[in-house]
Amino acid sequence: MPDIRVHDGSAFEAYADVVIVGAGAGGLIAALRAKAAGAGVLVLERDAVPRGSTALSAGLIPAAGTRFQKAANILDSEEIFVGDILRKAHGEPEAARVAIPVRAVAPAIEWLAERYDLPFSVIENFTYPGHSAYRMHGLPSRSGLELMDRLRAAAERADIDIITEAQVTTLLTGEGGRIAGVELARPDGTRDSIGCKALILACNGYGGNKALVAQHIPELATALYFGHPGNQGEAILWGQALGAQTADLSGHQGHGSVAEPHGILITWASMVEGGFQVNRQGKRFSDESHGYSEHAATVLKQEGGIAWSIFDARIAEIARQFEDFRNAEAQGAVLTAQTPEALALRISVPADALAATFEAVEAAKASGVTDSFGRKWAGIKPLEAPYCAVKVTGALFHTQGGLAVNAEARVLRPDGTALPNLFAVGGAAHGVSGSQASGYLSGNGLLTAFAYGYLAGEAAAKL
């Protein structure tokens, strides 16, 4: 249980200007930025190798107005991006607050590319639901593992100390509500205390904490958690104990397309590009174009908590740019057949029902109508044999609620004043998705890890 204690004045075992809890994308970007601004930095990470949820992700970061977009002649702007986030989040977050990470994320990506040679490029062969421009930036393998490897290599180059197997258990407070330092525990039970001038919480949200999930997201209380198990919600619990404001704790990213039982993410491009989902009866049950996040609960409501994602070879080729999809194919998760009836046999759903579903979808595409679920099919390419199917389930990926922060990622009290020297970034901070799964626009996770990491590092160094 995360704990807070008044520092008794004894000497710390070590000291750094800026101490960062967690070495995911948010923590490492904050560290790089603080170091570049001249601060002494120490990153504390509970795992032996820093990976976090970032390494499990597709590593795609949305940003508007980057040089990568300009080079590809993509028209986009911060205003359009803010508008997309607000539309997906049903207007719940305030526009001025959303504009903070949106404004910071493009410079963060460009800075990492220029200073640390991270070779970002923009995905240009499909858009995620709700984004009105191609703006997902990723590394060559389109994987979060590569993102983490490259951020770790950058931290090494910048001579940043990362202490691994160091789980921060306790915040030590000093005068006037300042954080004087932290206490950490090692796997062998030994403990150390580290002093700091500023503390950055980069230990993500509470997706790995079953009790907190049951409290704030009851509809996913028994769902598969697909994020990093170390995301136990300490930042939120520490913040609450310090009198900080938390917000939108029920907000989260779910996903309705995790291969079952392989546990591999199947990109939602499989749906957006013209695929659809059916249940065990071979029937569609939703508008798949809405977004994958809200589909977690929708898929879990189907018999057995599963669905089949159906697409074709053209879409599989688009999906193959993702390492995850290639792994899913290698593990036999993607079944193929030449006709809907043969596919039905392979996935054990009624052949006549699946054939009728295919027929209805293709007729809707041909006539460009909106179907009874509200999905607009105009302009979407028909599916052509060979057809593909993957058995999927719904999962919780990460939580979006968190500690309220200002434009420097400083943690705020309910009256809007900032705590003296505490920052929160990434999943530890209040996200921009509002209070519902359906408010999550693709990329909102790494958006706040990159943007608030970049802002917090610079502001903490000034302290």
Ligand X SMILES: Cc1cc2nc3c(=O)[nH]c(=O)nc-3n(C[C@H](O)[C@H](O)[C@H](O)COP(=O)(O)OP(=O)(O)OC[C@H]3O[C@@H](n4cnc5c(N)ncnc54)[C@H](O)[C@@H]3O)c2cc1C
Q: Which is nearer to ligand X, 253 or 286 (CB)?
A: 253
Binding to ligand X (CB under 6 A): which residues in 314-373?
none
Task: Show the binding pattern over residues 129-168: x = contacts ligand X (CB under 6 A), - = does not.
Answer: --------------------------------------xx
- When binding is defined by CB under 6 A, the residue of 239, 291, 427, 439 that contacts ligand X is 427
Q: What are residue 167's DSSP bridge partners?
A: 185
**19 neighbors 35 (Cβ within 8 angstroms):** no
Report if residue 58 touches ligand X, rule: CB under 6 A.
Answer: yes
For 51, the token pair is: 């990976």
> With contact defined as beta carbons under 8 Å apart, do 63 and 135 qualify?
yes
Judged by CB under 6 A, the residue of 383, 419, 437, 449 near ligand X is: 449
Cβ–Cβ < 8 Å for 323, 309: no
Q: Are 245 and 404 in contact (CB under 8 A)?
A: yes
C-alpha 25/C-alpha 17 separation (Å) is 20
Does residue 402 bind ligand X (CB under 6 A)?
no
Q: Select the residue interacting with ligand X from 65, 227, 340, 394 (CB under 6 A).
A: 227
For ligand X, the closer of residues 42 and 364 by Cβ is 42
Site string for ligand X, 245-284 (x = CB under 6 A): --------x-----------x-------------------
In whole angstroms, how close is the CB of 171 to ligand X at the nearest point? 10
Q: Which one of 310-318, 344-352, 376-384, 442-450 is the stretch in contact with ligand X (CB under 6 A)?
A: 442-450
For position 393 contacting ligand X by CB under 6 A, the verdict is: no
DSSP letters spanning 304-354: GGEEEEEEEHHHHHHHTTSHHHHHHHHTT--EEESSHHHHHHHHTS-HHHH
With contacts defined by CB under 6 A, name the span among 11-19, 103-111, 197-205, 369-377 that binds ligand X.
197-205
Q: Is 394 in the site for ligand X (CB under 6 A)?
A: no
Element (H, E) at 82: helix 78-88
Question: In this complex, which beta carbon is closest to ligand X, that of residue 152 or of residue 284?
Answer: 152
Of 255 and 375, which CB lies nearer to ligand X in the complex structure?
255
CB of 137 to ligand X, least distance (A): 10
Among 17, 24, 123, 432, binds ligand X (CB under 6 A): 24
Tally of CA atoms within 13 A in the half-sphere of 259 that contains its CB: 22
Bridge partners of 225? 396
Given the DSSP bridges, would you call strands 246-247 and 121-122 parallel, antiparallel or unpaired?
unpaired
8 A C-beta contact, residue 120 and residue 461:
no
* Distances 277 to 65, 286, 333 between C-alpha atoms, Å: 34, 8, 15
User: Is the backbone peptide bond immediately before 420 cis, with ω within 30 degrees of 0?
Assistant: no
Residue among 310 and 429 whose Cβ is closer to ligand X: 429
Closest by CA to 294, choosing from 136, 439, 402, is: 439
Min dist CB 104 to ligand X, Å, is 14
**25 sits near ligand X (criterion: CB under 6 A):** yes
Q: Would you count residue 65 as binding ligand X (CB under 6 A)? A: no
Amino acid identity for residue 362 in this structure: E
Please pick, from the candidates 7, 19, 34, 52, the single residue that binds ligand X as defined by CB under 6 A.
Answer: 52
Nearer to ligand X, 168 or 422 (CB): 168
Q: Does 216 bind ligand X (CB under 6 A)?
A: no
Exposed / middle / buried, residue 15 (Cβ in 10 Å: 0-12, 13-18, 19+) = middle
CB 247 within 8 Å of CB 401: yes
Q: What is the dihedral of CA 36, 42, 227, 238, to 10 degrees?
A: -110
Give the span between the Cα atoms of 28 and 391, in whole angstroms.
35
User: Which of these ranges, 16-24, 295-303, 343-351, 354-362, lies near ligand X under the rule CB under 6 A?
Assistant: 16-24
Distance in Å, CB of 63 to ligand X, minimum = 11
According to the binding rule CB under 6 A, does residue 398 interact with ligand X? yes
Q: How many residues bind ligand X (CB under 6 A)?
A: 45
Tell me which of 173, 193, 204, 286 binds ligand X, using CB under 6 A: 204
Q: Which two tokens stand for residue 116?
A: 């640390």
Residues β-bridged to residue 278: 308
Q: Which stretch binds ligand X (CB under 6 A): 23-31, 85-93, 153-161, 408-416?
A: 23-31
Query: Following DSSP, what letter does each residue of 124-159 receive, concatenated?
Result: -S---TT-SS--EEE-TT--HHHHHHHHHHHHHHTT
Binding ligand X by CB under 6 A: which of 17, 53, 343, 437?
53
Kindly state whether residue 409 participates in binding ligand X, applying the rule CB under 6 A: no
Residues binding ligand X (CB under 6 A): 21-27, 44-47, 50-54, 56-61, 167-168, 202-204, 226-228, 230-232, 234, 253, 265, 397-398, 426-427, 443, 445-447, 449
